[in-house]
């Protein structure tokens, strides 16, 4: 459903953000 899609998209963005932070650290 829509809520599930939003949560899934947020978690994907969070994973990408973590990868960027680790890469820049």
Sign of the torsion angle spanned by Cα atoms 18, 21, 24, 25: negative
Instruction: Kindly tell me the burial class for residue 8, based on how many C-beta atoms sit within 10 Å of its own C-beta (0-12, 13-18, 19 or more).
Output: exposed
According to DSSP, residue 6 is labeled H
pLDDT number for residue 23 = 93
| pLDDT of the chain, 25 residues: tens digit per residue | 788 888 888 989 999 999 999 998 7
Task: Note the pTM of the prediction, 2 decimals.
Answer: 0.50
Distance CA 25, CA 13 (A): 18
């Amino acid at each position: 459903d829509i809520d599930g899609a939003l949560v899934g998209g947020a978690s994907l963005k969070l994973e990408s953000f973590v990868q960027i932070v680790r890469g820049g650290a």
